[in-house]
Every structure is written in structure tokens, then in C-alpha cells.
Structure 1
Amino acid sequence: MAELKSYGKALPDQVDRIALLADAHIGLLSDVREIYKDRAALEKEYAGKLSILAKKAADRKSKSIASLVVGDDASTAWGEDTIQRSTLDKAYGQLISSLENSAQDHSLLSDVLITQVADATKTLEKKHTEMKSKQLQFYQKLLSDRDKVYAERLKMKQKYDEECLEIESYRRKQDRSQDDKHASRAAKQLETQLVDMQNSKNTFITSTAIANRIKGKFYTEDLPLIEDDFLKTFITHPAERLQTNLVVGLVSILLHAQTLQTAHLTALQNQVNSVQQALTQVNPALDQNLYISYNIRAFSVPNDWAWEPCAGYYDTGEMAIDPAPKVFLQNKLSRCKAKQQELYALIDNKKKDVEKLTNVISSYMNDRSLGSVDDVMNDYLGVQHQLTLLEVSATAVGTEIDTISDALGASTMSSKSTRTPSASSFMQPQTIPDEVYPSARALYSFTPTSPFELAVTEGSILQVIEDDDGSGWTKVADGKGGKGLVPASYVELVEEEEYTAPAIPARTKPTKLQTLGSGKYVRSLYTYQGRGPDELSLEEGELYELSSGSDGGQNYADGWWEGHDKTGKKGIFPSNYVELA
């Protein structure tokens, strides 16, 4: 048995040509169906009519066999001897020969040829046309998603350039300022603009890294996978028990046709046996390798993008980690890590689904009486597409985490126990006002398969927390405290007047603590985990009493206050994690 080569590895970036090969194989189904339809009609006539059909079939073969064997745009010159090396060509030729020698068939056989051969090839052609279209649509989606990432990078570059030019504008304004009042204002505006520029710079660097990572994944993983899925859909190695549905299915139909002929016309037994032998010798791996050998083209993955400085502003390609941009990066890093955990869980589940469906396909291909291989293959393609999109999202998020983590370096690990904190010594949570999320209605019930997914029932009203980012999943809340991911196609946005939103229960005011210090209380805005024995852990919404004394309470240190929790424990905590009660 010939060694099976991979389309994705041997023919990089040739999806369009492989799709043409798929069209040629689908066209083969149409040709074979026409052969048997015409033959069924001619079976009611005399032998001379059948010889006409054989000639028509030979003409079709001569027109299409090159497309079937080497494709419409071969990169290497080929001849008639090349076509004769194809096992499919030999089987097809033997089939036409059998037609020429089967001119004495009768009308009874005509009926079974229509119902059990022609109609079966039509069904097979329809299913594989749909699967091929699905693959091409997904390929176009990947191209579109990749181009959006490229476009986002250019957009971030333009924004960064604009921010840089704005800095120069503010500097000129500062130079023109004469009195102290105007000079102070101009300096403040310049400082603010500098922070905006640095944030834009970081975003541009991050988007460049994402674009490079997405590009690499597209050419080394996604594109080869799509090409190999054409392999699984149309041609594959018999030893892998994932034979092509199209070629093997066609061979199965034709073998059945030969069996019908054997049962009805003993006189044709020798011709039938010849066709059977030719069909059983069809070797998709040999034919695939033959196609590859005549379609190899030079290819290399495009070069990575590099840092591009602004023409009107001097800068370097290093991430800005000044206090304000650093806080921005730390907050973004935290969100990315949470998103990454969700994606990893979903990817793990989808990989298990892909493995399960692959095993089912293998079993069905080994014993086609177990069920429809085409239906399972269609399910496999759907799950594989979801997995690919999730992996693309995980690649982008992982790249962002790596880029930001490399920029922050060891500075993010500085301890707060030094008593000399600054605005960037810990990640400053962003104060976000209560947000009104858009509402959606569940179109179908959904049962979660991982801790990151949310169970919903058909017709329930949900709040959309995060839109579909291209992975096919949307994060929602159910109004009962539950949050998680559901398939984006399972929900639809609704207008607010279509329902009455559930009231958000008011937070119960914590019981006032017994006075242990100054009698002044603060409420924690965020949860904080103490990092030393002298630090006090905070729970969001809880009250804490400030300690008394000239060195206690708000006077403890810059950025740190001292207080007591409800158990009487005394310790220090970040002042910007609380507000006066």
C-alpha cells in the first residue's frame, strides 16, 4: 500500500486547486449517474443503443480524466502515460468497457439500475457538494477573520501615529504659553496625551504580535487542516479506515450495480467480474500522491511584521511600562488570563468531541451498515470548525498574555510589604459603573459540558456579557447569578420592551463593626488577598474600621491605610481598594 501524503504539508496554500480536484470528483458522480440513467433507458432497446452510450461515456472520460488525475492546472508536464498510472482511470475505463459488452440487458434490470444506482449517486453527490461548500465557506471565513486581524493592526498603527503627532502639537502649545496658569495647563495636557500615546503604542505592539501569531497559525495549522479535511472528505488511505466517502462510496454503488447485473444476466458474468476487479483495485492513496507529484509549487510563509515607528515621532519598539500604561497592561493581563482559562476548557471538550467523531467515522467506514458516514462526517466538520475558531481565539489571547507578561517582567512581582508603594506596585482595578447588558432570548435549550458553560432553557431571557468573538460562543448571565458560555447560534437579541428585566436584588448592608479604633469606617470596593502577616485581607462590600493614632488609619503610609476587620484583626491594606463609608 502506498504511503499517504498530506495535502496540507505537501501542497501548502493550494485550497483553491484542491477544491477544483474535489469538483472533478463530484463531477465524476454526475458522469456515472448519467451513464446509468442512459443505460437504464437503453436497456429497453437493442444492443446498438448501448454502444452509443459507451461512446458517450468514453468521450466524457477523455474530457474529465485529466482533471481527475492531475487537476486543471498541473505544475508539471504530463502525458498519456501519466493518466494510465491512475487506478481510478483504470477502473473507470473498465467500467466503460463493460458497457460496450453489455448490450443485451433488459428492462427489468433497467428499473433496478435507476433506483439503486443512479439515485444513490445523486444522493452521494448532493451530500459531498454540501460538504465541499461548507469547507470553502469556512476557508473564506478564516481568510476574513485573518484579514480583520491584519486590518485591526493597521488601525492601531494609525491611531498610534495620530497620538504621536498630537504630542508634538501639545508641546508647541506649551512652548507658546507665557503665564504660569497657561503653562501648567499645557503641561498637564501634554502629560495626559503622553499616556494616551503610550497606551496606543502598547495596543499597536500587541495587535502586531497577534497578527503575526494568527498569520503563523493560519499558514501552519488552519490552512493545512482545511486541505487535509478535503482529503478526509474526498480521498484517504484505506488502511486508516477513514476512506473517502466519495470515491469509496462510488465504488460501493458500482459494485452493487455489478452485483445486480450478475443476478439478472448470467451471460455478463465475465464482464461483471472484470469490472469488480478493477473497482476493488482503486487505490485513493496512489491517485492522491500522483496528483500531488504534478502540482507541487514553491511556497514559503510570509515574513513576520516588525515594529514600525511613527514618521513624525521618535520612539522605540519596547512596550511602555510607565505607571499609567502599566496599570492598563496589568488590568488587561488579568482579563486575558480569565478568558484563556475559559477557552482552554472549551478547546479540551471540542478535542474530545473530534476524537469521538473520528472513531465513529472509522467504525462506520469499516461497516457501512452501522449508519450514514456522510452525516457523521458532516458533524465532524462542524465540530472541527468550532475547535479551529476556538484555537484561533486562544492563540490571540495567549499572544497578548505573552507580550504583556514579557513587557511587565519582574516589576509586576514587587511586594507591597516594602511600605513604599506606588501607583503601579499592584494592579489597580478599574472602577466600572453598573453596566446595562443587552438582552437576548434562548432559541433552544442547552446543556453544558464544562464548568465554563451555562445551562439555559428555550425561551429564557439572558443578558449578553460578551459577544461572540469569532469562536462561536457568547458569554451570558441568566439573572439568577449564573454566568457562562452558550453557543452564539442558540440566542438572539431582543428589544427591551419585549420583556420586563428582572430586578437586581439590593446588596444587604453589612452589620456595623464594634468600635476598636478611630470610629471611622471604610467599605471595600474590591476583594484583596493579604500578602503578609501584617496585611489585612478585604472582601468586596465589607466594612472595616480605621485604626487610631498619628501613624494609624489614613496616616499609615502613602497608598496604605490601617484598620480592623469585624473579627478585630488589625492590618494594612491598599487605600484605593476602599471608600469611606
Structure 2
Amino acid sequence: MDNASLYSQAQPGAFGAELKDQIPTINQHLVNGISFLNEFRDFCKERANIERDYAHRIEALVRKYQHKKEKKTAQTQNGGVPASPLEPDFDPALYDGTYVQTAHEYDAYTMTTSRAWTSILNDTEALSRDRHQFSENLISKVYDPLKVLATKKDEARKKHVLFAQKLLAEREKSAQERDKAKAKYDASCEEVENSKQKQERAYDEKNQEKLKRSYYQDILDMNNNKNSYVLTLQVLNTHRKKYYDQDLPELSNNMQALDESRIEGLKEVWEGYIRLEAKLNTDAQTHLDSMIQAVQAVDASVDSAIFVRTHRTPWSAPLDLPFESSTTFNDTEELVLDDNARVFLSNKLMKLRRKHAQTTVDINSRLKDMEGLSNLKNAYIENNSLGDPEEVQESILEASRAITVLQTMSALYDAEINTIVQTIGDTGVQNQPHDFKAASFTIPTSCDYCQSTIWGIAKQGFTCRDCGFNCHSKCEMKVPPNCSNVKGGAKAQRNSFLGGGPPSASSPTSTFNTMSSLPPELAPTGTPISELKHRASVRESPSSSSALAGAGAGATDAARSPQAIKGGAPQVGSHGSLNQLQAHVIYDYDASSPGELTVRVGDVITILEGDDDGSGWVTGQLNGSSGLIPLSYIEMEQFYEAPSEVAPIQKVRVLYDYDAQSNLELTIREGDIVVLTSTDCSEGWWEGTLRGMTAQFPANYVELI
């Protein structure tokens, strides 16, 4: 059986049988395959560089922290203190607690956490060395063999390509020989035809004979050229058949064998690459197992016992701080027990008990929350899919911290309560206390205790819910607990005191009288705001001046006192007169009853009656109609008109955002412009008006403009 038949029976999948006359395609396939060898070789080179750099970085990192650990150990052992008394085999269970060491001495290597840390550093360093060796192996066992393999395969490919070019050239040579023979044959045929025509045109016999001999010679040449052409044609066809049926399939199969040998070589290299990777991972697992073993040996109780043993020092509880008398006034630590002090202590006792009761409620609520969180944590521990117990533990700790703070507050309240009870008894002043609530005073109102003016929207004072008693925040604790429990009762008592007579028979009396419980120099005197408005409505005359003077020194002092609020109402004195109060409407309000007044934003109304009883309503007049309007829906325009210089409106610009923590504070945002109403607040706080609301804000959050 000849080679052609062998190739015709080639197995399916052979290049020679399946890829007819596709040497360029097969060659490109070989080029791509060899290029992939170089591509993987470049991958290994970059991987080796990365592994080498990673190993160097890890090694440098480990050495950095080993140096830190060694430095700490050296400082502990050679830092001017004796060597650690701890034994490496110290057993906390056998520790009797008799050793006391004043210096902070401990051998770091006795700590289980330190041993684990040492193991982590050492094994990590070993991992870096393995990585470095792996990078070297990638070069020597993968990169270099791949380079040799790619070079050999490319040289073999080039030989196949040259041979394919040679076979093609031989075939083309046969084709050229056939073309030449065909051309000569065609030329001889034309020559015979030309000779025949010349013979037929000849007239003399002599020329005809000559032309006849030439004609026969041309026929002989034509026949020879034809035979040559037929022979070259047969040669070409035979050559072509062998070229396509034998030479090209054989060359294609040889190129296929080359490609398959390339693949086998790549496979072998890949197996070596994977074995290197597997060895690296095996060695890494060994080091990880060593680290896990060291970490599993960590015992928090052992480390705690070691730390306690090495850091225990003699200690005694601090003594109570003694009472320190003023350098200018020799005094003792006993509480003052005059009438005013008893009133103050009684009020404080009531406040402390309310706070203590609320704190107890808060503690019990927090304890219930902690119990629920503990149950939730246990449920999460039993079933991790429900949630993270660590997050619940953080919530438990937050609740515990809150309880600790509340318990501290409760203990402090107890301390004050016990001290006051030991001094004035369990009940203090036996009477009816006022039920005070924080109140805003947008219209100047007299304090029923000290008779000076209260003014300001930002909770400048208090009003009793039961009797309407008004007072400053600073006066709250000084007010005797003599609430009449009747609306307007406080005003009736105040007017009786100002008139010089005793309270009316219809007014309730109490054990402690507000006026008699204070020393003469602190007795509250003055004129109610309603009387001031009445007096100021008439042009001042000598008689009115004397009448004002007759109201008492307290009234004069109160009238001539400086303004309590910057930019607020000017003082009322002998040179000022009270004008009708006007206000701007800042919100629409529709009357819901006949006694109310409908207003719209921008309306200017006249205030006929202020919020003296703390009800939150004022009586206003607009376009001849009068009625009640909510105090919070208006903004005062002016309170007094005086020929003296009026303080200019002061404004501030907000520098930082601040969110109010209570209804006494003002929420401000960067860039807001706030009208400053007072700087006489708590330390570090100012009062201002923004968007119709007046409250306090941090002074360092704004700048004056």
C-alpha cells in the first residue's frame, strides 16, 4: 500500500486528512501556541517578581514587629528594675496572693498571648521565606524550561514552513515547465499553419518544393513540441496529485505532531508549576497549624492572673474631703437653718426626691432592657443564624454603662436627701408646694417673689400650674411652699402685699408668709406690670413721679435696673413712657371661637392684654376687632418707647451646626443669622431668635456681625 492510500485512510482528527491545503492556517496555529508558551512564561516571571516582593515586604514587616517585641522585652528586663520574679511554669491556680511587687515587672514570654504572638511572627517569617523560595523555583523550574521549550518548538516550526515553501516551489516549477511546453506547442502549431499558407501561395515549382520541405519540418517540430507538452502536463498532474495527496498531508501531520508535542511539554510544565504551588500551600498549612496551636493555648485567665500578680501594689481608699471654710469667713460644715434656708432646703428636698424617683424608674427600665438583651444574646449563641451575639453584647454594655451612670446619680441624690433630712427632718416645711413649670415671658412680667421683671422666650422663669405664681429661674428655690391651689391666688396675695394690708379673707393663707419669711433687705417690693402699663399711659408729671416713688425703693430700683437682655426692652424710669405693645404675626391663625381673632402672616397687631397667667394666649386688636391669639404665633415688635438711646439689634452668624438637646435650646445651622436677645445666660451660652423661636445656643458656635 502506497503512502497516498495510507494518508487517505488517516484517522479523523488528523490535520492531513481533515485540513486540506491549509498549511498557512496550521502554521498560524503553531505560532499562536508557541506565543502562548511565551505568554505563560511572562506570567511566571511577573508572578515570581510579585512573590519575591511580597516575601521581602512580609519579612520586613515581621522584623519590624520582632524588633518592637525585643525592645519591649529589653526595656522590661534592663529598664532599671529587678528581673521579673515570675517563673515560666507559674500556675495561677496555685497562687496564694502573698507576693506584692511595686514595680511594673513582668516577663512578656510568660504571657500566653505573648507566646502566641511570638509564634505568629516566627511562622509568618517562615511563610515569607517559603514565598521567596517559591519565586526562585518559578524561575528555575518553570520560566527557564518554558523558554527552552518555546525556542525548540519555534525552530521546528520554521523548518516545517521552509519545507512547505520548498514543496510549493517544486510544484510551481513543474507548472512552469508545462506552461513553457504549451507555449512552444502553440507556437509550432502557428508556424505549421503559416508554412501551409506560404506553400499554397507559391507559383513556381522551385519555391513550392522548398516551402514543402519547410512545412514538413514544421510539422515534425510541432509534433515534438506536442509530445513535450503532453509529457510536461503528465508530470505536472502527477506532481500535483502527490503534492495534495501525500506531501501536504504528511507535512500537516508533522506540524500537528509538533503542536501536540508543544502541548505535552506545556502540560508537563504546568504540572510542575502546580506541584510547586501545592508544596507552598502545604508548607503554609504547616505554619498555620503551628500558629493555631499557639493561639489555642492562649488563656485569658492565666494572663489576667499573671498581670495581677506582677502589678499588685499597696493601696488604701481615699479619705473623705473635709469642709474648707472661706478665708474671709470662718464657718463650720453644718447646714444653715434659718427660715430662708429651710425654705430653700425644703424645695431642694422635694426636687431631689422627684429626681430620685425618676432615676429609680429609669434604672428599673434599663434593668428590664438588660434582661431582655441577655435572653436575646443567649438565643443568638444557641443559633448563630438568628444574629450576632457580639452586637447584642455591645448593647448590653451600653445599657450597663447607662445603669452605672444612673446608679451614680441615685447615690448622689441619696447623699443630698439624707443630709437634708438629718438637718430639717423627713418632711421639711410642712405646707403645699408650688407645681412649677418652665415658662416663656414674651411680655415683661413681674416676678411674684422679687418683683423684678421677667422677659424672654427662652424659658426665663417658672409659673405655678395651680395658682399662677410667676418667678425667675433663680428665684424658684427661694419661694416658700404656700401654693393657694386657686388660679389667680398668687396675684391677689401679691396685690394685697403691695397695698400694705393683709390678704383678703377669701385668699388662702399658709403657715409661711412669703413676705415675712425673708429678711427686710430681701423683701420683694415693686409694681406689677399691669400697674406699670397704666402709669406709663399717662404723660409723666411731678405727681405721677411722686406716686411712683411712693411705691417703695424696690420699685424705683427695679424700674432703673439695667436691661437683663441685650437688645430687649429698655428700662422704665422717670424718662420713659410705656407705649402700646405691637407684634408681628409670624403664622396664620383662624379663630375657632367667637372670643378669638383671625390673623395672617405679616399683620401688625396691638397687644391689649399680656400672658400674665402663663396660659400661652394674649389679647390683641387688629382693624378694630379684638380677641385672643396664641402667643407662639406672634413676634413682639417693641415694648417701650423712650427718648433715651435704644440699644441696636445685635445679630450673630452661625459657624457650626448644632442640634438642640432639649426644648430650652435652639437648633442652628451653619450660615444662619440669629438675632441675639441675651448674653446673660449660663456660662458659654447665649440666647437668640431664629425662625420665630427664641432659645439658647452655644456662644462659641457663632460670631458677631
Q: Which has the larger radius of gyration?
A: 2
User: If the length of structure 2 is used for normalisation, what is the TM-score?
Assistant: 0.30
By relative contact order (CA 8 Å, sep 6+), the higher-ranking structure is 1
User: If the length of structure 1 is used for normalisation, what is the TM-score?
Assistant: 0.35
